[in-house]
Structures are given as structure tokens and as C-alpha cells.
Homo-oligomer: A and B are copies of this chain.
Amino acid sequence: MNQPEHLKNAGLKSTLPRLKVLSLFESGQARHMSAEEVYKLLLSTGDDVGLATVYRVLTQFEQAGLLVRHNFEGGKSVFELDQGTHHDHIVCLQCGHVEEFFDADIEARQENAAAERGFTIRDHSLSIYADCAKTDCPNKTRSENR
């Protein structure tokens, strides 16, 4: 299915800015992007889109179920294509590298913890902040590595 159809299925009319943002995510350039990153990447390829529109489109895509929003440490929202299946994240504090993981037992135990206390889960977020193993990550070259 092509992009204009994607948008129509989501109840959004197929406009140029929306197509550009969707293409960027589908290009696979980067899985997790903030509004600012989307904005700058589009600018850099000459696909100018207003920053306000980027914010609007990201929120619309989130509501339409095309994108998922994450609130990692750092105060800015990051988005990724909705893959249909839930997963959690490990974020490198040094270089921003993100890896995804899924643990069925963790998920089950969360359900359990909530149910035991009479809560009905709407959403949850598990983020691990760490130093990654990439050889080019700044955490490798710091004089003191504590």
C-alpha cells in the first residue's frame, strides 16, 4: 500500500507535509526521531515543512496509530513507526543509541502488579538508560570511566 492510501486509511487527507514526514520515517534513516530532528532532516533535503506543521503532523500520526510517542529522559518526545507490537527501550546516555527489547515475563509481571492493586493498565513505559557497547560511543574515550 502506498503512502497516500496509508494516510487516507488513517482518516487524514493526503497533503505534501504529511507525505514528507511519513516518507522520512519509512525511509529507515532513523527509527526514533524528535520533532526537531524530523524538521532538520526534511530541511536538509530541501523538503521544507514548517516546524509547527511537523509538531502537528507527528501528533496526528500518533493519534492515527501510525506513530508511537516515547518520552525518554531529556524532555523531548521521540517518535517511531508503530510496528504493531509493543517493545521497551535501552537508551545510551552518551551517544543516544537506542536498542529495543521485549520480555514477555516483564510484561506479565507488570500486568500482575497493576491488577493486584486494582488498577486497569492504559499504558506503560520501561526505559533503561545505560552506556552502550559501540566502539565509537563517547563513553569509551572518557578519561575516567566511572
Which residues in B have their C-beta under 8 angstroms from that of A126?
A: 110, 124-126
**Judging by beta carbons under 8 Å apart, are B131 and A119 in contact?**
yes
Indicate whether A92 reaches chain B with its CB closer than 8 angstroms. yes
User: Which chain A residues in 88-105 approach chain B with CB under 8 Å?
Assistant: 88, 90, 92-93, 99, 101, 103, 105
**Judging by beta carbons under 8 Å apart, are B127 and A131 in contact?**
no
Not counting A106-B110, A110-B126, A120-B131, a sample of 20 additional A-B residue pairs whose C-beta atoms are within 8 angstroms of each other reads: A71-B73, A73-B123, A73-B125, A99-B117, A99-B119, A101-B113, A103-B109, A110-B128, A114-B128, A118-B133, A119-B130, A121-B129, A121-B130, A123-B128, A123-B129, A123-B130, A124-B126, A124-B128, A125-B126, A125-B129
Indicate whether A142 reaches chain B with its CB closer than 8 angstroms. no
Which residues in B have their C-beta under 8 angstroms from that of A131?
A: 119-120, 122
Which residues in B have their C-beta under 8 angstroms from that of A109?
A: 103, 105-106
Which residues in B have their C-beta under 8 angstroms from that of A105?
A: 105, 109
Report if A132-B113 is in contact (Cβ < 8 Å); known contacts: A124-B127, A125-B126, A127-B125. Answer: no
Report how far A105 CA is from B105 CA in the complex, Å.
9
Q: Which 9 A-B pairs have the closest CB atoms?
A: A118-B133, A119-B130, A123-B129, A124-B128, A126-B126, A120-B131, A101-B113, A121-B130, A103-B109
